[in-house]
Structure 1
């Protein structure tokens, strides 16, 4: 954590394409280390020259490899908890999480470009059910992370109005290096990371690295929850005037997708465990739904919940950086990726009711078609010798519905970014100019199947059937089949894609030695095309139950998509540098978010999709001295005429319905990051964000036909205040370091109506590092020491405009993970 603040202002800033070798001036204990050489690339510029962090006209955060190893983040989202201005939801597990930047009201990674070596991991990180973090895993091949918050991000990357997160891999031209790390965790967690790089003659190197791990998951479903790994092979060649770098990565990994769980309130109204369910470690996923075949057209649908989010990816990258004879620098980044992603999950839908109420509801719904002198009872699907206790099953006597959802999302994508940069002088003024062209093309498929089941409210929940029993207590029929209320409750079949062309230019104009004006613009064209299959409802006539009577499937009719969107983004920033240590900046950015292929999932005829304008203003003061640094950045964002869609699952019909709203949002706030080296023994770091994020307007028509406007309400799930403070203690001449981290997240709301309150919470984490000798280092990490039940979201399927209300004492929400303990031994030379 320490180097996040100390090294970042000492590092020189260069183009996100061009690479230079510069000395890193601080090691873990803060002492100068002349032998340390690091290749430095700071994201967010396209210039040919160098800038220090304190000289940039935008906000930057950086993390070193030591920060990453010490913090031991479980996911990409966990990495970004140290970044001010980002609201991070990492409660979904190791992938499939949400990031919101500066109040921009988009989930997933649809407003932040997740990059690797300066090029997007996925052109659009917000494609439906294909979050960009599903295609990336952190391991020892990563050298550092650089984050641009807002600023010029939408000029140099598509779909980046909120910022860019750039993961930079290791390179070692001048020496051999190796890293091996063995890690154990208290949730049956085992992991091995490795990296080896060989320096060859003629300024070349080759390297190989990756990881493998498996564990039950912090929320144990009764089977191996997370399993797999990746391998990366890289090679580089330096020339007198440049470099060529080639990288291949293969990922084959599955992670559980964690979703809302049942919770309750204690006598004081505070959130607590539901009886029979541990809020810190429990999950509804369990052996009964681990692997089943559900009714479908033909032979059935093979649903394997143990796959979770299973990504198989091949990624090939070529980077070329050269200085031409005329002084221009040429940089070309090319990437091809092919991935197959299967997302299987158990989605609790809401409708937590007492077992008796569920019996009454089903009796009313189906009573007219049931045999005379019969009644409805609940019974365990796979446990005929166990009687369902209607009054107090699992200590709560509740049942709920859950969707067994499966989505297959293949993606083929090609990206290329070509740019030219040069520094030149006109009179006494220096210009650092860049011109670039960006091209991307992708083919995206989306095939979705869903069955809706009934469960007890319990960890590793058992399936429950609604059976029809006569007066003699004999079962004569059943409403459900094997716990399934409705097979085929959702279906989509989409094959779509896009061709994107963008041209951009930038100029860093040094007007005086202290004053610099930064300008940039980007023109982008997005052409969307593809087909969407229509749907129909059929009776499979394969069961005596009601479960297959209303099966949604494709009708064989495909409608064509053909859309084109064009837009221009621009930015202007000014930096006034009083001294090497102190500077000020201000920047205005006018950007946009264009529709993507997944916006047409299930609805090829929609004509309401438009480019959404986004404006951002930011200013800042930057001070960096040897033992103290502070970066304060006030900001303002405005999102205009955004379309919001709320998908609500109706637990009576077991189907989705949707509502649409349009609105403007505005957010103003302040980001802070600071570091203080109090002494050789003690240092303190603080990052924080205060923001007022609200819907300026939010208009829609509710189910009763009434006009509703939630203008003035707080943005969904975004806290006004959040901070992260770290106290570091260095002992034994720097060989031992421990960090205590305190995190705070203020009150939020789970719905636009601001009726579902997500209370504030504190989390404490502890990490320690001990240098056994020059090669071996031991690490120890405890997350969520206090076992806080901190809610990151309510129940989206119960309504995000107006949240689900329940007269009982039970509700659904997604909390952070419970306390985990891990330890690792790392060998390096």
Structure 2
């Protein structure tokens, strides 16, 4: 692992941390030279009446809205010692965000809604008011993989439940909007960052401001490179993004043009083996010798490259160093103007999106002699690469039968347009606000998956090497460590070798009314989503109904090896057609009463839908003759919600408390495990419910501030059509209690504080046997301003090196005492030097 030099160690603040944004709240800001803001050298202000614009008809003070919402501004973002989108969302009440602090391979949900798979099925992620992808759980393409946080990020707005279901498609659980700086203030920021104790360098910049004549602009971005906080033996992080926007303000509105180019890759910190002892109720999680997965990953230069077949059944070389790769070239326009008393707003964006998903998961971890069974009696094991090439393995060192997944995300192009018109009418002594809108989107899914089974050791730290198996008579069973192209005998998922060429067209008219008279506000909204899906799917499971295999010279050596004798191939002349439609109705109605300037209360009921993307057209669900899913119930999941809350804000203090209830219909494919910890895919057809309380508070006095949030959730599986024994059990990975706190003190030239995130225990799987331990992570930060415009900062994520388990694979302690776990990073220190001009 590379170490930072003395020079880079002095560049204080965020390599694996979010770039240090400005430090001030809206009521007491001092412009730097960029459109961002920097902390004014005055005591921290009282909580501001932040205007909220996401998922509502018009921007309003939160105390005047019948919604539960949160805002993270530049000051909040500066204190977080995480860089990933999912990591940022851990600091919003109600959000359950499972991440290893990378952008992608995350599972994100809200208010106890089920986590059946990766992604964010019931939660929509937006950038500047439009979705990054139309569907949050496209297999191997989570929304956060195509979104980055940098100095161009001005604010994060989150709405939980409420009108999110009617002001956006496929967002019944909520909306999280990442809002860019648009250059209201003049100036620039340059920041250089480095890891302390690990190799990750980063440079960020931002510049913007008025241009005269009503014009203003903002531009910025970042570039990073390095191994990263976990030892992989290669350059795991490489790339960056640049964003820019140009705005023309005029009486009654504005027009804005914006663009973004993202080209970035990062390692996939997936699930790795750990030891499990103790009891199911109180497990003892440990590490294999020399394999602390808090700072190690499975990737290695010796195992990074391997051969497979491509989308046309031809030989292909796959490079796992691409990790989670994302390329986005986007441009858009936003216009707002007044016509005959109506405020008309139109947002448009086209995004050219592609990338790759690479993962390697140890499916069977066992002593070396176990794997000789694949070669028969007398079989031998030898290293296939690295300094030990050819050396015979004669001891009982641990090896892993590994499933490698490669998803070529050829095109996830997304085109969206959202047109709405609002008007405020004087009526009966009050004000009636009406809104009509039309949303149209087209989402492409062009992607191809393949799986490969390989054998390798568990050296870790970028040293893992492939292992070959040879029969007693010298016949190779493996090709450079590859045991099977596809899945080895006895492994699951044999049908998952698919190619999708599908288009989704979405049309959604919507409208809302809100009447405010005195202290009372009553509103309702309605949305109708209609989708048309067309295209084709190639999969071995289509055609004659059985997996299709062929002999293919994958490695190009002119011979057919044992592994090459049975390669899954696609039936290129027999694709299954896709041709179906769906529709669903969403509604929301709420009432808000402002008892005083400092106090209000609200109540709301909602119903929202979530259309299923490619999970509806797999080999287990699509009828290849009609082009429609065989079970229409899989097309849409419905979420029904009720919520009520109180909001208080006065002087130095603001307090928000919301009670919620939700019921969810869910049809999905869920990766789970058997009693031995062996993973398999289970089809679920369930109804879930969740109820609980959300709390968010902020207190400021002088230079001291404290921001807190907490969520209590009681979730249950109410009905299971396939396995009634699960009814009444608690869904996996949903803790009873989760919280965060951000205390900080501004001492003038120095600001210091900490970010504290915690969660209680949950169950590893729906069987409610093995408990997944809770954790508390403490991440302190210090920011020093030795001269005007200059800031030195240090962020230390997980300073006490806590083992924070994101997920455990096994439902119970397996006989082997081994299972796979995904964990958050261990202690990770980063530093930056920032200059505002």
The TM-score with structure 2 as length reference comes to 0.87
Q: Distance in 2 between matches of 1:168 and 1:199?
A: 19
Structure 1 residues 656 and 554: CA distance shift in structure 2, 3 A: farther
Match of 1:306 in 2: 321
Match of 1:137 in 2: 148
Which of 248, 258, 267 aligns to 1:256? It is 267
> Mean Cα displacement is larger for which, 264-273 or 720-729?
264-273
Q: Equivalent residue of 1:216, what SS?
A: strand
Match of 1:673 in 2: 696
Q: Which of 1 and 2 has higher RCO (CA within 8 Å, sep 6+)?
A: 2
Which of 804, 811, 826 aligns to 2:819? It is 811
Which of 469, 476, 480 aligns to 1:466? It is 469
Structure 1 residues 177 and 477: CA distance shift in structure 2, 3 A: same
Q: Distance in 2 between matches of 1:234 and 1:86?
A: 30
Q: Distance in 2 between matches of 1:222 and 1:711?
A: 46
Structure 1 residues 354 and 408: CA distance shift in structure 2, 3 A: same
1:30-109 alignment, distance < 5 Å: 30-31=43-44, 42-47=53-58, 51-91=60-100, 93-106=102-115, 107-109=118-120
Structure 1 residues 214 and 826: CA distance shift in structure 2, 3 A: same
Contact 1:330 1:421 in 2 (8 A): yes
1:658 Cα deviation (Å)?
Answer: 3.9
Which of 541, 552, 565 aligns to 2:568? It is 552
Q: Equivalent residue of 2:472, what SS?
A: strand
| Residues 533-573 of structure 1, C-alpha deviations (whole Å, 9 max, x = no match) | 14211133665643122211111211111111111111111
1:528 Cα deviation (Å)?
Answer: 0.9
Q: Equivalent residue of 2:262, what SS?
A: strand
Match of 2:187 in 1: 177
Match of 1:347 in 2: 361
Q: Distance in 1 between matches of 2:788 and 2:226?
A: 30
Contact 1:207 1:235 in 2 (8 A): yes
Q: Distance in 1 between matches of 2:108 and 2:794?
A: 27
Q: Which 5+ residue runs of structure 1 have no aligned equivalent?
A: 12-21, 368-373, 471-475, 701-706
1:684 Cα deviation (Å)?
Answer: 2.4
Contact 1:204 1:235 in 2 (8 A): yes
1:238 Cα deviation (Å)?
Answer: 0.9
| Residues 744-766 of structure 1, C-alpha deviations (whole Å, 9 max, x = no match) | 21111221112332111121110
1:162 Cα deviation (Å)?
Answer: 1.4
Match of 1:585 in 2: 602
Structure 1 residues 646 and 663: CA distance shift in structure 2, 3 A: same
Match of 1:202 in 2: 213
1:6 Cα deviation (Å)?
Answer: 9.8
- Residue 357 in structure 1 maps to residue 370 in structure 2: yes
- Residue 317 in structure 1 maps to residue 329 in structure 2: no
Contact 2:21 2:77 in 1 (8 A): no
Q: Distance in 2 between matches of 1:306 and 1:504?
A: 44
Match of 1:488 in 2: 486
1:272-421 alignment, distance < 5 Å: 272-294=286-308, 300-324=315-339, 326-348=340-362, 350-359=363-372, 361-362=373-374, 367=376, 375-382=378-385, 383-384=388-389, 386-391=391-396, 393=397, 397-421=398-422
Match of 1:15 in 2: none
Q: Distance in 2 between matches of 1:99 and 1:168?
A: 19
Which of 711, 719, 733 aligns to 1:689? It is 711
Q: Distance in 1 between matches of 2:814 and 2:471?
A: 27
| Residues 408-449 of structure 1, C-alpha deviations (whole Å, 9 max, x = no match) | 341222100000001111121211111100000122111112
1:699 Cα deviation (Å)?
Answer: 3.6
Q: Distance in 2 between matches of 1:527 and 1:262?
A: 43
1:592 Cα deviation (Å)?
Answer: 1.3
Structure 1 residues 520 and 327: CA distance shift in structure 2, 3 A: same
Structure 1 residues 507 and 10: CA distance shift in structure 2, 3 A: farther
- Residue 763 in structure 1 maps to residue 777 in structure 2: yes
Q: Distance in 2 between matches of 1:28 and 1:485?
A: 63
Q: Distance in 1 between matches of 2:767 and 2:26?
A: 41
Contact 2:50 2:62 in 1 (8 A): no
- Residue 744 in structure 1 maps to residue 758 in structure 2: yes
Structure 1 residues 27 and 165: CA distance shift in structure 2, 3 A: farther
| Residues 488-547 of structure 1, C-alpha deviations (whole Å, 9 max, x = no match) | 34521110011111011111111x311111211101101111101142111336656431
1:24 Cα deviation (Å)?
Answer: 11
1:656 Cα deviation (Å)?
Answer: 8.9
Match of 1:636 in 2: 661
Q: Distance in 2 between matches of 1:300 and 1:508?
A: 60
Q: Distance in 2 between matches of 1:54 and 1:479?
A: 68
Q: Distance in 2 between matches of 1:40 and 1:516?
A: 17
Structure 1 residues 549 and 81: CA distance shift in structure 2, 3 A: same
Q: Equivalent residue of 2:729, what SS?
A: coil
Q: Equivalent residue of 2:635, what SS?
A: coil
Q: Equivalent residue of 1:548, what SS?
A: helix
1:279 Cα deviation (Å)?
Answer: 2.4
Structure 1 residues 749 and 818: CA distance shift in structure 2, 3 A: same
Contact 1:111 1:163 in 2 (8 A): yes
Q: Which 5+ residue runs of structure 2 have no aligned equivalent?
A: 1-17, 30-34, 488-495, 541-547, 624-628
Match of 2:725 in 1: 709
> Mean Cα displacement is larger for which, 267-276 or 770-779?
267-276
Contact 2:449 2:498 in 1 (8 A): yes
1:594 Cα deviation (Å)?
Answer: 1.5
| Residues 789-825 of structure 1, C-alpha deviations (whole Å, 9 max, x = no match) | 1111123xx7xxxx47631222211111111101111
Contact 1:84 1:689 in 2 (8 A): yes
- Residue 505 in structure 1 maps to residue 511 in structure 2: yes
Q: Distance in 1 between matches of 2:637 and 2:153?
A: 34
Contact 2:552 2:560 in 1 (8 A): no
Contact 2:356 2:406 in 1 (8 A): no
Q: CA RMSD in A?
A: 3.0
Q: Distance in 2 between matches of 1:209 and 1:3?
A: 13
Q: Distance in 1 between matches of 2:709 and 2:675?
A: 43
Structure 1 residues 445 and 385: CA distance shift in structure 2, 3 A: closer
- Residue 522 in structure 1 maps to residue 527 in structure 2: yes
Match of 2:158 in 1: 147
The TM-score with structure 1 as length reference comes to 0.88
Q: Distance in 1 between matches of 2:224 and 2:153?
A: 17
1:590 Cα deviation (Å)?
Answer: 1.0
Contact 1:70 1:779 in 2 (8 A): no
| Residues 202-230 of structure 1, C-alpha deviations (whole Å, 9 max, x = no match) | 11023321110112122221111111001
| Residues 235-255 of structure 1, C-alpha deviations (whole Å, 9 max, x = no match) | 110112210000010111111
Contact 1:747 1:758 in 2 (8 A): yes
